[in-house]
Amino acid sequence: MSEAQATNLNYSPSSFSSVKAPIRVGILGFGGLGQAAARVLAPKQEMHWVAVADQKGYAYASEGLSPQQCITTYQAQGSIGYLETGGVLSNNSIADLIQQVGNVDGYFLALPNLPNTFMASVARQFIEAGWQGVLVDAIKRTSAVEQLLGMQAELQAAGITYMTGCGATPGLLTAGAALAAQSYAEIHSVKITFGVGIANWEAYRATVREDIAHLPGYNVEKARAMTDAEIEMLLDQTNGLITLENMEHADDVMLELAGICPRDRVTVGGVVDTRNPKKPLSTNVQVTGRTFEGKISTHTFTLGDETSMAANVCGPAFGYLKAGFNLRQRGIYGLLSAAEVMPQFVR
Residues taking part in catalysis: 140, 210, 214
Q: What is the spatial distance between Cα 247 and Cα 218, in angstroms, rounded to a whole number?
A: 12
- At 192 the three-state DSSP class reads strand
Query: Is there a contact between 332 and 162 (Cβ–Cβ < 8 Å)?
Result: no
Query: Is there a contact between 71 and 112 (Cβ–Cβ < 8 Å)?
Result: no
Q: What is the spatial distance between Cα 55 and Cα 204, in angstroms, rounded to a whole number?
A: 15
Beta strand pairing status for 161-164 and 134-137? parallel
User: Comparing C-alpha atoms, which of 273, 270, 110 is closest to residue 198?
Assistant: 273
Q: What is the spatial distance between Cα 177 and Cα 261, in angstroms, rounded to a whole number?
A: 10
User: Comparing C-alpha atoms, which of 99, 113, 122 is closest to residue 220?
Assistant: 113
Query: Is there a contact between 33 and 308 (Cβ–Cβ < 8 Å)?
Result: no
Instruction: Determine the distance from the C-alpha atom of residue 346 to the mean position of all C-alpha atoms in its chain, rounded to a whole number.
Output: 16
